[in-house]
Structure 1
Amino acid sequence: MSPAPLAIAAVSDNGPSGVLSIALLLVLIMDPFGNMVVVNNLLSRLPPPARVGVIVREGAIAGVLLAVFALVGRTLLDQLGLTEPALSLAGGIVLFLIAVGMVFPAKRITDEDPNPSPLIVPIAMPFIAGPSAISMVILFAERQPPGVVAAAIALSVGATTLILALAPFLMSLLRRRGAVALERLMGIFLIVISVQMILDGVDAFLDSRAA
């Protein structure tokens, strides 16, 4: 079984629909609509052009980080003696914690950074290239051609960066209540995906023991 419900089609399809399926899952994990509230507050002291520049820079850094993990993640895991079931379980648990923080903000595990122009942390990592996104690109790199994974990373990071760059405009449309409601809805979807990842990890572990 695949690591998440939305990934089922992507695992068996190397075409455009596979790229879109992986990218959609990554966008859900990156949660740009939920993070735009925090990012908008973090960069509120910067003028609009500088704000967009910071977000584009952080998106580019996140894309590079995800691409690096897609290329060398499996080698790194092999050197550390880690297995795919362990990766699936860890990714599911981290994703579950993040999703719980989306549904119940008081339980959020990420903090706001007072730096008016933060570098890498927290926008590039963990908001965009977080532990769950890294886990997913490593898993997909095992099952998909490099070009498919690279295209999905570029598409998802590009979409997330665009949404974050449009945060002031989107916030004016959604208002804070609308943004919070959308974040919680996405959090519920991610809880389901994280539970599926955990179940798949347990299933893979049991299969490896029985073999």
Structure 2
Amino acid sequence: MPIDISKLITVIFTLFAVIDIVGSIPVLIGLKGKMGSIRTLQATVVSGVFMVGFLFVGEQFLAILSLDVHSFAVGGSIVIFLIGLEMVLGKEIFHSETNAKSGTVVPIAFPIIAGSGTLTTVMSLKANYEDWYILIGIIINLVIVYLVLRSLSYIERVLGEAGLAAIRKFFGVILLAIAVKIFGTNVSQFIK
């Protein structure tokens, strides 16, 4: 089967935009500061397991829990909202995430990297693209995620404390807006 490069590029860039690892850098640096370190490989692998799992059994998994994609998205949006609020206000909300083991899975692998938006997008892409295009897109994005996570200390040194504070506030507002959009789009499904 020949590879349609335009389809592959569309899937890769759609996932890249939704994962938004570059926009998450200030959040990740803040969490790294609280936890001491981030287990880069573990965060990447766990995120990949979530994405690939949702590609193949996402809807069935949610159905077993008597949930739908919209409930899942609303829950994820609340966590994203709290992270954004923490960034903007400079107040610590996630007090329990002080060790790298638990913090690497929640909130880093989920919902920051493989959040409800990403997992919903993975399932939505199935309507237009073959599974293997999506799988390749996931793998390429995981490589990017891994490289960004590995470079956090370098990025932090380059930005400095003042630059990091400014970027953290800016992306905090963006994260709040994304959370509100995800919440608003999905909560309307409960009203119908």
Query: TM over 0.5, yes or no?
Result: yes
On the 8 A contact 2:88/2:173 being kept in 1, the answer is yes
Rounded Cα–Cα distance in structure 2 between residues aligned with 1:174 and 1:132: 22
Superposed counterparts of 1:23-172, under 5 Å? 23-28=16-21, 31-39=24-32, 42-43=35-36, 54-109=39-94, 111-114=96-99, 118-119=100-101, 121-130=102-111, 133-145=114-126, 146-172=131-157
Counterpart selection for 1:182 from 148, 164, 167: 167
The match for 2:13 is 20
- Flag the 1:193–1:29 CA change in 2: closer, same or farther, 3 A: farther
Counterpart-to-counterpart distance in 2, 1:179 and 1:67: 32
Q: 1:188 to 1:14 in 2, by over 3 A?
A: farther
Judge conservation of contact 1:30–1:133 (CA < 8 Å) in 2: no
Are the aligned partners of 2:79 and 2:111 in contact in 1 as well (CA < 8 Å)?
Answer: no
2:191 pairs with 1:191: no
- Paired position in structure 2 for 1:4: none
Contact 2:27 2:87 in 1 (8 A): yes
User: What stretches of structure 1 of length at least 5 have no aligned partner?
Assistant: 1-12, 45-50
**Given the two structures, how large is their TM-score scaled by the length of structure 2?**
0.76
* Cα distance between partner residues in 1 of 2:179 and 2:42: 29
In structure 2, the gaps of 5 or more residues are: 1-5
> What TM-score do you get using the length of structure 1 for normalisation?
0.70
Give 1:140 deviation, angstroms. Answer: 1.7
Residues 1:97 and 1:28: Cα distance change in structure 2 (over 3 Å): farther
- The number of aligned residues is 183
Tell me if structure 2 keeps the 8 A contact 1:29–1:133: no
Of residues 152-161 and 99-108 in structure 1, the stretch that sits farther from structure 2 once superposed is 152-161
Q: Which residue of 2 aligns with 1:47?
A: none
> 2 CA distance for matches of 1:197 and 1:82?
16
RMSD of aligned C-alpha atoms? 3.0
CA drift of 1:134 comes to 3.6
